[in-house]
Amino acid sequence: MNSFFYLFRTKIKGSVRVQFSSLGTGMAVIFTVLIYGILIGTIFTSSVPYDKETMYLQAAMAILAGIGVTAFFSMLSLMSKRKALLYDTDAFYFFSGPYTKTQTNLFILVQTLKGALGYGLIGCFFMGLLSMGGYFSIPYFLLCLLVLFLISSIFLLMTDYIYMWTLVKPKAKIWNYIAVILVLASAGAVFSPFYAGSRL
């Protein structure tokens, strides 16, 4: 198990080292982090006079934007042609190193959940951009992040399951398209009431 955690730490350090491998990339990373930090700080600290109707409309648009972004990235994962549970260096170390099947599956699960957390953060960021009305508090942010994280986790785990299924039965690849149709139908069911209300 020590080698398992050592691989995790080494991978994180390697990712950071790659980002700061040159002065240009390091400055770009720092600049990007500062820009996003300022935007996020503005989202949490901004406040305007309370207007019930305006705040409700902005909240609805923000939630729809978060769901839409999460659904978009989930669809990209489902439709990706370059699909594997482990890639490149990870596959080399786990299939040649002293790791058990349980450790390998745990690593794959952690990677999937990490991707779901990233999608959730992106969705919350877009929600925050549409939530400059002062109601985007930290508890509200954490609740939205939890919901989007769970949605992304379900789709990413389903993607992994379909991929393993296609290794045994190649014809099962059609389930990728069925899953995309379900995502689009779910998004349509969520968006259509708001669209119909806006036409009235």
CA 183/CA 189 separation, integer angstroms: 10
CA 185/CA 159 separation, integer angstroms: 18
Q: At 131, is the secondary structure helix, strand, or coil?
A: coil
CB of 174 closer than 8 Å to CB of 145: no
48, pLDDT greater than 70: no
Q: What is the full DSSP assignment across 21-40?
A: SSHHHHHHHHHHHHHHHHHH
pTM score, whole prediction: 0.70
Question: Which residue type sits at 10?
Answer: T
pLDDT at 22 (0 to 100): 76
122, pLDDT greater than 60: yes
pLDDT at 52 (0 to 100): 61
Mean pLDDT of 160-176: 75
Task: State the pLDDT confidence band at 104, using cuts at 50, 70 and 90.
Answer: confident
Q: How many CB atoms lie within 10 A of CB 125?
A: 17
Q: How far is CA 89 from the centre of its chain?
A: 23
80, pLDDT greater than 70: no
pLDDT at 76 (0 to 100): 73
Mean pLDDT of 101-122: 84
56, pLDDT greater than 70: no
Mean pLDDT of 85-110: 76
Mean pLDDT of 174-197: 65
142, pLDDT greater than 70: yes
pLDDT at 40 (0 to 100): 72
CA 149/CA 66 separation, integer angstroms: 11
Mean pLDDT of 21-41: 78
CB of 77 closer than 8 Å to CB of 153: no
Phi-psi region of 88 (alpha: psi -120 to 50; beta: other; left: phi over 0): left
Question: What's the token pair of residue 118?
Answer: 């990233």
